[in-house]
Structure 1
Amino acid sequence: MTSTPYDSPIYKNQYGTEEMRQVFSEKNQIQTWLDIWSALAQAEAESSIIPEKAAREIKEQSSVEKFDMDVIRTEIAKTSHPLMPQIRYLSSIVSPDAARWIHWGATTQDLLDTSLVLQFKQATKLIIKNAEEIQSKLLVKAKKYRNLVMAGRTNTQQAVPITLGYKFAVWADELGRDIKSLKCFYDHDFVGQFGGAAGSIASLGDKGIEVRNRMCELLNLNSPTITWHVARDRFAKLASYNAILAGTIGKIALSIMELQRTEIGELEEGFTLGKISSSTMPQKRNPMICDVIVSNCHEVQNSSQMALSAMFVVDERDVTWSTEQSYFGRIFLLLSAALKKLSSVCNTMIVHEDRIKDNLNMTNGAIVSERIMLVLGEKLGRQPAHEVVYEDAQDSFNNHKHLLDVLSEDKRITAVMSKEEIKELLNPQNYIGVCQKEVDDVLRKWSN
C-alpha cells in the first residue's frame, strides 16, 4: 500500500521518473553511506590511522545487497537513529578487528551530508541530461520555423510580428543558461563533508584534512576549504538553480497552453485518439500534459524555498539539515517528471500554420502600425505621426475596417506617401526585424 502519489503505482509517473526514484531509493541511500565508510577507511589506512587490512575488509563488505533491509527498518524504529543500525549491521558482517574502525572519527552529519551530496550529484546529472534533450529539440524547431511569421504578443495582445522560430530560440537560449549554471555547480560545488563532532576533526589529530581530502577524492567529490556543517549555502544554491530551471520549463509549458487556447489555436501539445480531456465534454482537447508540467514546476519552486530557510543554522551544528532529504528528493522527482513530459510534448507538438496565418491578419493590418508610424515620423516627426496613426488604428478597430483603407483615406498620410507604399509597409512579412538573425545566433551559440 502507498500513501503518497510520489510512490503510487498509478500516479507516480506524474510526479517523478523511475531513474530519479532509483537515486533517492533506500538502497541507493544506504549504498552511498557504505561507499563513504569505505572511502573513509581507505583514506585513514593510507594515513596510517587504521590497519590496511581493516580498510580492505570494510570495502569488501560495503554492498547494500548484503544488508537485510527489514532488519535495518526495525532497528531504525527501535533506535530512533538514522545511522546506527547500518553501522551495527556492517559491523556484524566484518571481523571484530575491522568492525572497531568503521565510522572512525566521523559524526552522523558527515555521513548524511556527504550521502546527500552523492545523491544530488547523481540527480543533477540526470536533470542536465534531460534538459539538454529538450534544448536540442527546441533548437531543431527554431531552425525549422525560423521564417514562419506569426503575431508577437505583449500584455496578452498582439504587438508586432515575430517568427515562430524566434519564440523557440528564446526558450532554447534561456534553457541553455539554466543548463550552464547546473553544469558549473556540478563541476565545482559538490563537496564532501568530514568534520567530526564540531568541525575540527580533532579525533584525527593533525591528519584530519589529509584524510578528508583523500576521502573526497575517492568519492569523486571536491574537497571543502573548511567544514560546512552549518554552511548550507551550496544546497540553497542548488535548490535555487533547480527552481530557476523549473521556472523556464513551466513558462514554456504555460506558453504552449496559452497558444493552444481555442481562440488562438497556433500550437498544440499533441493529440492522439484515446487521449481524454474531460469526463463530460467530449469535444475538449485540453493541454493536459502541460498542465501537469506547470503544476510540478510550481511545487519545485515552493519546495526550494525550504533550502533558503535551512541556511539559518546556529553554533557548530544543529538539526536544521535533517529535513533536506525530504524536500530535495521532492524537488528532483517533480523536476524530472516535468522535464520528461516537456520532452514528450516537444516530440508530439502540433504547429497549426493556418491558424498562425489567420491570427497574423486578424487585426486588419494594425499589427504593423508601428512601421507606418516610424516611416511617417521621418516626414512629420515622431509624435505627430504617432497621433495620426493612433487615430486611424482606433478607427480601423472600432469600425472593423482594414487599416490600409483607413490610412489611404487620410490626407495627412496620402500627402506624403502613396497607397502602394502604405500597402508594402503593412505587410507583416516585411517587419520581423532581426528575428531570423537572432535565431541563427542562438543556433550557433548552442551548437555542439
Structure 2
Amino acid sequence: MGAYVIDSVLFRDQFGTEAMRRIFSDENTVQRWLDVEAALAKVQGEMGIIPAAAAAEIQRRSQVRNIDLPALKAEMDRTAHPIVPLLRAMKQVCEGDAGEYIHWGATTQDIMDTGTILQVREALDEIDASYRKLFENVCALAARYRDQVMVGRSHGQHALPITFGFKAAGWAEELRRNAQRLRQMRERVLVGQFSGAVGTLAALGEAGMAVQQRLFEELGLGCPAITWHTSRDNVAELISVLAIACGTAGKIAHEVFSLQKTETAELEEPFALGKVGSSTMPHKRNPPVCEGVIAVNRLVRATVPLAIEGIVADHERDKVVLQAEREYIGRVFAMTHAAIQKMVFVTGGLSVRTQNMERNLYAQNGLLMSEAVMMGLSEALGRQEAHEIVYGICMDVFENGGSLKDALMRHPDVSARLSEAQIDRMLAPHGYVGHAGAFVDQVLANPLD
C-alpha cells in the first residue's frame, strides 16, 4: 500500500498510468540525470575540455543499473544533497580517474532541470498519443450521430434541439485546440538547463556557451537565451496547459455523467456484467470511470496556482520552488494521462441511448419548441409581442399541464395567424436543428495536425 494514491497497489490505476509511473520512477529519474552527465562528458571530450578517454568511460558507465539506489538514497539523506552522492557513486564505478571529470562546469540544478525536461518530453509524447486516440473516438461519435436529434440544454434545463453529433463535434474541436496548445508549448518547455552556479557559465571560461549549445544539440533540446534557474514560467505553462487538457477530459466525463442520470438516460459509460454499482443496491449502474475522471480533473486544476506561484522565485537559486515542482510535475502528468486514457475507454465504448434521446424531446409536451413558434409569430406580430404571447402560453402549460400545441390552438392571437399544420411544423424538433450537421462537417473536415 502506497502512502499516496499514485503509488498505491490498490488505487494507482485510478490516478495514474503505468507509462507515467515508469517515466517518473526513481530509476528513470536517475537515468535521465546520468544521460545529461554522459552527454556533457561526450561534448566536452570532443572539444578537448576533458580527456577523451575519461569522457568515453563516463558515457559507458552512465547507466542506472550501475548505481545502488538504496545506497544513493542513504547518501542523499546524509548529505542533504541529490547530485553529489550520484557523482561519488559514478567515481567509484568509473575506471581510473575518469570520475574526476564528470559534472565539469555544471551545477546540480543544471542536471536536475535538464533531466526533468527529458522526462517531460517522454511524458508529453505519451499524452499526445492518448490525446490523438481520444480525438479519433470523439470524431467517430460526431460522424455516427451527426443527425441524431437530442435535447440541447442551457442552465441545466431543456432549451432547443441539437444533435448528439453536434455535441460530440464541440468536444472534438476543444480537443483539437488543446492538442495545438500541447504542441506549441513544446518549443518553450523542452529547453535544457546548463549554466553553472549562478547562470553565467563562469567555470568553463570562454568555452561555456559553446559547450551549452553542443550539449543541447546532443540531447535534442532547445538552448535557452539565458539561464532559467529561477525563471519558472515554463513550468507554470506546462502545468497550466496539462490542466486545460485534463479539463476537457473532465468536461466530457461530466457530460456523460450528467446524461447517464436515471431521469435522462441518454448516455452510459461502458458497462459489462460484473461491474457493481452498490454493495447494498443491486440495481445500480453507476458511472465510476467518469466520476474518477472528474475527481482527478479537480486535483490537477488545483495544482495550477502552485505552479504559477513558483514564478516568484528568489534571486539566482530557490530550492523551495524546486522542491514543490518535484512533488507535482510527475503527479500532474500521471493524473492527466489517467484521465485521458479513461476517456479513451469511455468514448470508445460509449452507449448512446437514441430511443431515450427521442423520448426526451417530447418530455415537456412541446415547450422545447417555443422559440420556433415565437419566430413564426414574429413575422405577423413583431418579435417582442410574439415573445410576450408565447411566454404567457408556455408558463400556463408549465404550471397547469397540457400540451403547447393545444394551448396555442386555443389562443386567439395565435390561431388567427397560424394554422394547425403550421403549428405542427413549428413543434417538430427534428426540423429545428439549424446548421448542426454543417458544423459537424466543418469539424470533421480538419484532421488533427
Bin for the TM-score computed over the shorter chain = over 0.9
Shift of residue 417 of structure 1? 1.9
Which residue of structure 1 lines up, in the alignment, with residue 12 of structure 2?
12
Q: Which amino acid aligns with 1:433?
A: G
Task: Give every structure 1 segment of 4 or more consecutive aligned residues whose post-TM-superposition deviation is greater than 4 Å.
Answer: none
Q: Which moved more, 1:318-327 or 1:217-226?
A: 318-327
Shift of residue 207 of structure 1? 1.4
Other structure's SS at 1:281 match: coil
Which residue of structure 2 lines up, in the alignment, with residue 238 of structure 1?
238
Which residue of structure 2 lines up, in the alignment, with residue 181 of structure 1?
181
Structure 1 contact 303–330 (Cα < 8 Å) conserved: no
Q: Which amino acid aligns with 1:72?
A: L
Structure 2 contact 17–338 (Cα < 8 Å) conserved: yes
Find the aligned partners of 2:260 and 2:292 in 1 and give their Cα distance: 15
Are positions 1:104 and 2:104 aligned together? yes
Other structure's SS at 2:151 match: strand
Shift of residue 72 of structure 1? 1.3
Other structure's SS at 1:417 match: coil
Structure 1 contact 14–337 (Cα < 8 Å) conserved: yes
Which residue of structure 2 lines up, in the alignment, with residue 82 of structure 1?
82
Shift of residue 68 of structure 1? 1.8
| Identity percentage of aligned residues | 40
Which residue of structure 1 lines up, in the alignment, with residue 427 of structure 2?
426
Query: Equivalences for 1:175-324 in 2 at 5 Å?
Result: 175-319=175-319, 320-324=321-325
Which residue of structure 2 lines up, in the alignment, with residue 439 of structure 1?
440
Which residue of structure 1 lines up, in the alignment, with residue 395 of structure 2?
394
Which residue of structure 1 lines up, in the alignment, with residue 368 of structure 2?
367
Find the aligned partners of 1:245 and 1:251 in 2 and give their Cα distance: 10
Which residue of structure 1 lines up, in the alignment, with residue 167 of structure 2?
167
Unmatched runs of 5 consecutive residues or more in structure 2: none
Structure 1 contact 105–201 (Cα < 8 Å) conserved: yes
Query: Equivalences for 1:129-148 in 2 at 5 Å?
Result: 129-148=129-148
Shift of residue 413 of structure 1? 1.4
Shift of residue 402 of structure 1? 1.4
Q: Which amino acid aligns with 1:110?
A: D
Q: Which amino acid aligns with 1:310?
A: G
Which digits, 9 at most, give the CA deviation of each residue in 1:192-227, with x for residues without a partner?
Answer: 001101000001111111111111111111110111
Find the aligned partners of 2:48 and 2:323 in 1 and give their Cα distance: 33
Shift of residue 401 of structure 1? 1.4
Other structure's SS at 2:150 match: strand
Structure 1 contact 141–165 (Cα < 8 Å) conserved: yes
Find the aligned partners of 1:162 and 1:232 in 2 and give their Cα distance: 44
Structure 1 contact 265–352 (Cα < 8 Å) conserved: yes
Find the aligned partners of 1:26 and 1:323 in 2 and give their Cα distance: 17
Find the aligned partners of 2:240 and 2:324 in 1 and give their Cα distance: 17
Find the aligned partners of 1:191 and 1:215 in 2 and give their Cα distance: 11
Q: Which amino acid aligns with 1:312?
A: V
Provide the aligned C-alpha RMSD in A.
1.2
Are positions 1:412 and 2:436 aligned together? no
Tell me the matched-pair count.
Answer: 448
Find the aligned partners of 2:317 and 2:410 in 1 and give their Cα distance: 79
Which digits, 9 at most, give the CA deviation of each residue in 1:377-404, with x for residues without a partner?
Answer: 1111110000111111122222221111
Find the aligned partners of 1:78 and 1:310 in 2 and give their Cα distance: 27
TM-score (norm 2): 0.97
Other structure's SS at 2:152 match: strand
Find the aligned partners of 1:392 and 1:179 in 2 and give their Cα distance: 47
Q: Which moved more, 1:74-83 or 1:104-113?
A: 74-83
Other structure's SS at 2:446 match: helix
Find the aligned partners of 2:398 and 2:3 in 1 and give their Cα distance: 56
Find the aligned partners of 2:54 and 2:211 in 1 and give their Cα distance: 16
Q: Which amino acid aligns with 1:40?
A: L
Find the aligned partners of 1:132 and 1:47 in 2 and give their Cα distance: 42
Other structure's SS at 2:5 match: coil
Which residue of structure 1 lines up, in the alignment, with residue 385 of structure 2?
384
Shift of residue 433 of structure 1? 0.7
Which residue of structure 1 lines up, in the alignment, with residue 72 of structure 2?
72
Shift of residue 188 of structure 1? 4.3
Q: Which amino acid aligns with 2:400?
A: N
Q: Which amino acid aligns with 1:398?
A: E
Structure 1 contact 160–367 (Cα < 8 Å) conserved: yes
Find the aligned partners of 1:206 and 1:107 in 2 and give their Cα distance: 17
Q: Which moved more, 1:399-408 or 1:136-145?
A: 399-408
Unmatched runs of 5 consecutive residues or more in structure 1: none
Q: Which moved more, 1:19-28 or 1:314-323?
A: 314-323
Shift of residue 74 of structure 1? 2.0
Structure 1 contact 368–425 (Cα < 8 Å) conserved: yes
Find the aligned partners of 1:243 and 1:337 in 2 and give their Cα distance: 13
Find the aligned partners of 2:121 and 2:301 in 1 and give their Cα distance: 19
Shift of residue 177 of structure 1? 0.6
Which residue of structure 2 lines up, in the alignment, with residue 358 of structure 1?
359
Q: Which amino acid aligns with 1:255?
A: E
Find the aligned partners of 1:385 and 1:327 in 2 and give their Cα distance: 56
Shift of residue 315 of structure 1? 1.1
Structure 2 contact 189–235 (Cα < 8 Å) conserved: no
